[in-house]
Structures are given as C-alpha cells and as structure tokens.
Amino acid sequence: MDELIHVPGEEDGGPVAMGPGVRKISLALLLLGALVILGTTAMDTLFPAPVVKPIGQEARDLMQAKLQQNPWDGSLASGWETHLKARSRVRRSLAPFWSAFVMKVLNTVPADLVAGQDGWLFLRDRIQPPAATRDRGIRLMGQTGAAIQRRLARMGSAVTFIPVPRKAVACAEKLPRGMKSDPEYDAGIVQALRERGVTLLDVTRAWEDVPAEGRYLRRDTHWAFGGEKALARSIAETYPELVTHETKLWLQEAPTAAPALLLDFAAIQRDHPAVDWINGDVSIRPYLRPREVLKRMKKLPTDVDVAVVGSSFTRNFAFAELVAVALGRVVYPGGIAGTPFGGSLAYFAGKFSGRRFPSRVLYEFPIHQAFQIGAGSHSAQQSLAAFFTGTTEAGTLPLPVDLLGPFTFAEKPRRGGKVLFPEGTLLSSGDGVLQLRIKTWGDDSTEWQLRSTGALQYWVLGPGEHEVLLPVIQSLPDGSEVGIVAAQGAAPTATVTVTVEVDADLEHAVEIPLEPSGDHGLQGASEAVSVGLHDVVTIQWTGSPEEIDVLIRGVTPDGVEREVRATFREPVSKICVLSLTPFEAGEITAVEVQGAIGEVRAFLAPQLSD
C-alpha cells in the first residue's frame, strides 16, 4: 500500500510530535491564513470594486462574448471568474504594489507585456506580426486602402492615410537588446498602399528628428506629444493649400502625468497610487484655444473641409487640435477609441451621411491594426462593411450582363439567402473596383456575410427591403469564389438579388486598340494615354481561354513607373476590370494581354462623375 502522509500526532504516523511552541505558531498561521482568505472574500463581497466600463470595440467584444457564454463549454464559468476577479477590491488595492515591485526590482512583467530598456513597456502581440497572415495582411491592406480611397473619392473626399508605425518599430532602440520587431512589415504596409496608388503620409519621415521619448509614451500604447506635433507640422508642409489661418488658433500646453495604459496589463489600474511610483513620467497635454473653437469642432461644423479621422491615437490625444493649429483652420475631430481598422471611418461616414463630405480626410491608423485585416478579423470586417454600407450614395453602374457568363444573378432572385459567384466569375484588381449591390427582402431580421478570399464582411438587416453596396476585395488568386450567404443558416423568408457593378462610366469608355504581339499576345497603348485618378481598364474577350494575363504599365505624374498586373485562370466571365488608381492620374504607356481568345478589346473608362 502507498505510504500516506505523516502528520504529527496521527496514530500511525508522526515520528515527531509538535512541541508547544511550534503548535502555537502553526495554529496562529492557520488563523492568519483563514483571515487572509475569509477577509478577502468578505471584503470583495461586501465592498466590491466598481466595474471598469469598457468602451468602443472592447465593449462590443465583451457584449458579444457575454451573449455567446454558455455553461457547456466553460465560457460562462470563465466569464464569472473574470468578473469576480475584476471586482475584487482586495486584488485591485494590493496587487498593484506587488506588481510594481516585481516590475521595478525584478524587471518581470506579465506575459502580455515585454519589458524593454529604460523601463519601456511593449505589448507582446504587437511586436511581431502573426507569421501565418503576415504577407496576406500586407497585400490586403493595399487593396482595402485602395477600395476606401475609391469610395471616399466618390463621396467627394480625398483621403490621406496616416499609418502610424508600431511602437516596437518606431522605438526599436528601446526593445530588449536583440529583440526584433520586423520593421519590414510596417514598410511593407506603406509600400503596398503606395503601389495601389493610395495617398499617404510617411510618418517615419516625419519622425526622423523626434527621439523615441517623443514618438511614443514609455508605458502606454500611444504616441507622445512630440510625435503628434511633428506629424501635424508635416501635414501642413505636405498640404500647403490646406493652410488658411482663417481662424486664430493656439495651444495652451500643460504638463500632466503621462498616460500609462500598459500598466493595466500588470494589474496596476490607472488611479492606483502605485502608478506614480512605477511611472512618474510627465507628458504635455495641449488645450486648443479659444475654447469656443474646440466646442464648435466637436459639434460637427457644417462647413468643415478637413476631417481628422482615426483611432484612440486621435480620440484620446490632441492630434486633431494640433492639426487644426498647424493648418490654422477648424477641422472635424473624428477619432474613435477601441475600434478596429475602418471603425472610425464607418463612424465618420455615418456622421456625414446626407451631408457634404469634407474635401480632405486625414485617416490615422496604427499599423498593428493591419494584423486584423490579414487575419480576417470579424470586428475589422464588420467595421469595413459598415463604412462601405454607409457610403452607398456613391454611384455605380451594372456590368454588362452578357459579359458576366452564366453566373449573373442580376434580376435572378433566389430564395434561401445564398448567392455564389464561383471562381473565374468576378475578375478584377480586387480593390473594390467591382462592387456588389445586394438587395434583400425579408419578413424578419436577417444576417449576411460576404465571403471572399480577402474579406468576410458581415451585416444585419431588419425586416423589409434593404440595399447595400459592398466592394469586392480579394487576395490572391484573383477571380476566386465570392459568396453572399445568410449568416444564420438558411433564411427561408429572405430573398436576395445581387448585381455586379463597377464605379466607372463604361458608356463613355474609350477603346485602346490592341495589336498582335508575340505568339498569343496583344499589345496596346503604343502612345501614352492620359488617365484620371480612379479610371479603369476593362479587357473583354469572346472565347474561353485557359488563362489570361494582363499587364498595364504606366507612370505617375511624378514620373514613377508603376504597373497593374493580373492573372485569371480558367475565366468564366468575358470581362475583367482593373483599377488604374496606382498611376495617380498619370499615363498608361503599355497594355499587354496574353492568352485571350476570340475577339479581344480593351477600354479605358473614366470614373463616374456625380
């Protein structure tokens, strides 16, 4: 039989009985232990700590998680545990002291964080992009950016993307020695946007003369005052035409305790005394003066021409105010905290729905948000869907039905809520140049998904008739399957009709003559052809080729050579539509088509005018 634990005083066990002194101490410790446990229980039950209310996406995620909790998979129990822990007053009062001690003296932080040099903290999951979706993320950001730009252009806004480098890249010298942060990823995002012709501001360049302490806050996930200020200055330098000084604005700068959001991850809440001991950094909080202007800005001015849209970097800091001062004009501050990529754009589109959009939108987003795009994150896709659905006022025209092949669903309603465009049907540059006008009729609320290789967009429609316009954003291979599916299984009472549309004026397209070149090739644009910013090229054919390669070469107005390339295997449709946005309204110098069979024609179509 197994040997049982020996305890002093037990009949068959203890080799040594407890002496009176030891007995007293053991009983005292038992009492103390019980007091610690029961005291905590009593304190936390009678005086629970107030609930920390999450905001923005966090609040939505929490609500979603709560709705999905059930007792059978542990999620309900896990939710209770989190709740109990979060409301523990003892924990929230005492743990920060220990956590601060461990952090300061033993340089030890919880697994979510990385302790860098000089007390810098980094979020671990933002230091390296997820390997599995890294390249896909870069590619899709280029295409998504182009789609957003096209859509805003149709709404009358020129957008400038402001991709803020990750803290681990912008302040790489503060990472632990030897730790890598994949700066090529951030550069790749910028490059991908540029190659798609997306207008952007190079934050890295704007921050060249700003030290690490000025770029990001030491113990927070956001930028520091110096970085914001340099960026606002850079905007004014890049867009001198926006600088008006129509309004006399200035900033009143006040020193304040620097935000230290990352300490939350180490259980040190922001109002705890341990924060002062561990942090102690001072930051500048600028206040826009005169005060009335700030109030006016926040009340959505009717005549605003510049909007600063962005994440918590804009919402929780003074970026919009700094831009206003740099430009000398009122701007619309459209920052939303806790939203994924596209979330603030969706909110902005909602705010300006039915009104004139500002002519320039400065869209700030931290580059780590591209991780979500690459991973097909539900919340990011939901935000993008909300943005595109919120800007359906932009006009589009249906593609000629006879060119779409046998899978044309226009005017072909199907019951059951599912429409599929198989591989080879929707042939485009995958950056929103093709759009799907989706009409639904239902007796009840229905939930829908647009599924493609680049997007999983999700939207909910109430009973009745609805219409949404969603761009087709695809990663490679181009022309892969796209489906519109009822999210909650079959939707027997819903009917859906989908029309494939393009945001270009095909009726006024100009043909680019194609001449034979090589064995199976065709070449066009022997003389340079000027293009507008969001023009498109369509290639049409009559045969059934195995594969079509299209290459369009051109230059931007600055003389930078660019190309648009697409390959479609076993195309079903007889038309492909390629965006010319990358040429930034420069010139096409060559069009090459390989593999097309039958009568092959190329057209240059201008963007639809209002």
Nearest distance from C-beta of residue 180 to another protein, angstroms: 8
Q: By CB under 8 A, tell whether 271 contacts another protein.
A: no
Q: By CB under 8 A, tell whether 65 contacts another protein.
A: no
Asked if residues 572 and 405 have their Cβ atoms less than 8 Å apart, the reply is yes
Which conformational region is residue 216 in: left (phi greater than 0), alpha (psi within -120 to 50 degrees), or beta?
A: beta
Please name the helix (run of DSSP H) or strand (run of DSSP E) that holds residue 370, with its range, or none.
helix 369-374
Q: By CB under 8 A, tell whether 108 contacts another protein.
A: yes
Q: By CB under 8 A, tell whether 179 contacts another protein.
A: yes
Instruction: Choose between 84 and 490: whose C-beta lies nearer to another protein.
Output: 84
Say how many residues touch another protein, by CB under 8 A: 66
Residue type at 128 in one-letter notation = Q
- Residue closest to 154 by CA, chosen among 497, 550, 465, 471: 471
- Single out the segment in contact with another protein by CB under 8 A; choices: 1-9, 147-155, 281-289, 530-538: 1-9
Q: By CB under 8 A, tell whether 52 contacts another protein.
A: no
Nearest distance from C-beta of residue 204 to another protein, angstroms: 24
Q: By CB under 8 A, tell whether 106 contacts another protein.
A: yes
Beta strand 158-164 with 360-366 is parallel
* Binding-site string for another protein from residue 231 to residue 270, where x marks contact by CB under 8 A and - marks none: -----------------------------------xx---
Residue type at 388 in one-letter notation = F
Q: By CB under 8 A, tell whether 67 contacts another protein.
A: no
Q: What is the dihedral of CA 472, 478, 483, 487, to 10 degrees?
A: -70
Which conformational region is residue 446 in: left (phi greater than 0), alpha (psi within -120 to 50 degrees), or beta?
A: beta
Q: By CB under 8 A, tell whether 115 contacts another protein.
A: yes
Nearest distance from C-beta of residue 162 to another protein, angstroms: 31
For residue 591, give Cα distances in angstroms to 25, 291, 537: 90, 56, 9
**R_g of the chain computed on alpha carbons:** 29
- Single out the segment in contact with another protein by CB under 8 A; choices: 105-113, 145-153, 202-210, 429-437: 105-113
What 8-state DSSP symbol labels residue 49?
P
Q: Which of 49, 55, 94, 153 binds another protein (CB under 8 A)?
A: 94
Q: What count of residues does the chain have?
A: 610
Residue type at 355 in one-letter notation = R
Phi first, then psi: give them for residue 597, nearest 5 degrees.
-120, 150
Asked if residues 40 and 88 have their Cβ atoms less than 8 Å apart, the reply is yes
Beta strand 397-398 with 482-486 is unpaired
The first and second tokens of residue 597, run together, are 């069979």
- Single out the segment in contact with another protein by CB under 8 A; choices: 83-91, 416-424, 429-437, 558-566: 83-91
Instruction: Choose between 51 and 106: whose C-beta lies nearer to another protein.
Output: 106
Subset of 330-389 contacting another protein (CB under 8 A): none
Q: Which of 105, 411, 515, 527 binds another protein (CB under 8 A)?
A: 105
Q: Which of 52, 54, 98, 598 binds another protein (CB under 8 A)?
A: 98
Q: By CB under 8 A, tell whether 88 contacts another protein.
A: yes
Instruction: Choose between 99 and 429: whose C-beta lies nearer to another protein.
Output: 99
CA 573 centroid distance within chain: 32
- Single out the segment in contact with another protein by CB under 8 A; choices: 5-13, 288-296, 398-406, 460-468: 5-13
Instruction: Beginning with the edge strand found earlier in the chain, give each strand of the sheet holding 536-540 in spatial order.
Output: 510-512, 601-605, 536-540, 575-579
Asked if residues 336 and 246 have their Cβ atoms less than 8 Å apart, the reply is no
Instruction: Choose between 81 and 465: whose C-beta lies nearer to another protein.
Output: 81
Is the bond preceding residue 290 a cis peptide, omega within 30 degrees? yes
Asked if residues 360 and 346 have their Cβ atoms less than 8 Å apart, the reply is no
Q: Which of 20, 50, 178, 240 binds another protein (CB under 8 A)?
A: 178
Instruction: Choose between 110 and 513: whose C-beta lies nearer to another protein.
Output: 110
Nearest distance from C-beta of residue 76 to another protein, angstroms: 9
Contacts with 129 (C-beta within 8 Å, 6 or more apart), sequence order: 137, 182, 185, 370, 371, 374
Q: By CB under 8 A, tell whether 7 contacts another protein.
A: yes
* Binding-site string for another protein from residue 8 to residue 47, where x marks contact by CB under 8 A and - marks none: xxx--xxxx-x--xxx-xxx-xx-xxx-xxx-xx--x---
Instruction: Choose between 28 and 597: whose C-beta lies nearer to another protein.
Output: 28
Subset of 570-599 contacting another protein (CB under 8 A): none
Q: By CB under 8 A, tell whether 476 contacts another protein.
A: no
Which conformational region is residue 300 in: left (phi greater than 0), alpha (psi within -120 to 50 degrees), or beta?
A: left
Q: Which of 102, 410, 456, 585 binds another protein (CB under 8 A)?
A: 102
Nearest distance from C-beta of residue 56 to another protein, angstroms: 23
- Single out the segment in contact with another protein by CB under 8 A; choices: 104-112, 219-227, 489-497, 506-514: 104-112
Q: By CB under 8 A, tell whether 49 contacts another protein.
A: no
Nearest distance from C-beta of residue 397 to another protein, angstroms: 46
Asked if residues 503 and 437 have their Cβ atoms less than 8 Å apart, the reply is no
For residue 445, give Cα distances in angstroms to 67, 465, 495, 609: 18, 10, 12, 35
Asked if residues 368 and 469 have their Cβ atoms less than 8 Å apart, the reply is no
* Binding-site string for another protein from residue 416 to residue 455, where x marks contact by CB under 8 A and - marks none: ----------------------------------------
The first and second tokens of residue 534, run together, are 């969001």
**Interacting residue ranges for another protein, rule: CB under 8 A:** 1-10, 13-16, 18, 21-23, 25-27, 29-30, 32-34, 36-38, 40-41, 44, 71-74, 77-78, 80-81, 84-85, 88, 91, 94-99, 102, 105-108, 110-111, 114-115, 176-180, 266-267
